[in-house]
Amino acid sequence: MPPGGWQQPMSQSPGQGGFAPGPLASWGSRLGAHLLDNLIVFVPFVLIFGFIAAGFGIVGSDADNEDLALGGLIAASILGVLLYAAIYLLYAPLLMKREGARNGQTWGKQALGIRVVRDSGEPFGFGSAALREVVVKGLAVGVAASIIPVLPWFLNFFWPLWDDQNRALHDMAVSTHVVKS
C-alpha cells in the first residue's frame, strides 16, 4: 500500500475516465457528511410536512371537529411518509451521478471534501448510486436490523474504524471506497 493510503485504480479500458488517486477519507469526515446529508433531507421534509399539516387544519386551528382533525392528521402523515420516501430514494442517487468532479458526492460529502469512488474506476450512474445508497446502505442493513436489532447498523457505521481501508460493510458489498476529493 502506498504511504498516502489506498489509491483508486484507473479504468480498465482507455477513455472511460477513471478517478484520480487520493487518500482515504477519515471516519470523522464520513460521519460529518452523513449528518449533513441527513439534515439536508430532514429539514425540508419537516418544513413541507408542517405546510401539509397546516393545509389539513391540524396545526394552528381551533379544530372543533376532532374527527376532521384526526382524518387530516392521517392524510398528512401518509403524504409526509410518501414525501420523505421520495426524497430519501432520490437525494443521493441524483447527486452522486453528477458528471465530472462532483461524481460520487452528495452535498454533505461535497461540503466535507470527500467522495465515493467505485473500485472499477467507472463513474457513478443513477443505478450504481441507488444500489449503494438505497438498496445496500438503507434496505439491506435495515432488513438485517429488523432481524437482529441495532447490531447491523452499529457494525456498518463503525466498521471503517478498524478496517485498514476505512471501508464500511456497504462499501465492501458494492466495491467502493470513500476518498478525499
In tens, the pLDDT along 109-155 reads: 999 999 999 999 999 999 999 999 999 998 999 899 999 999 999 99
Q: Does residue 139 sit within a domain?
A: yes
CA angle 135, 31, 163 (to 5 degrees): 80
Q: Does residue 173 sit within a domain?
A: yes
Q: Does residue 49 sit within a domain?
A: yes
Q: How far is CA 69 from the centre of its chain?
A: 34
Percent of the chain whose predicted confidence (pLDDT) is above 70:
80
**Burial status of residue 57 (CB atoms within 10 A of its CB: 0-12, 13-18, 19 or more):** middle
Q: Does residue 143 sit within a domain?
A: yes
Q: Does residue 2 sit within a domain?
A: no
Q: Does residue 168 sit within a domain?
A: yes
Residue ranges making up the domain that contains 96: 27-180
**Burial status of residue 85 (CB atoms within 10 A of its CB: 0-12, 13-18, 19 or more):** exposed
Count of domains for the chain: 1
In tens, the pLDDT along 39-69 reads: 998 888 888 777 777 776 655 555 456 666 6
Q: Does residue 167 sit within a domain?
A: yes
Q: Does residue 7 sit within a domain?
A: no
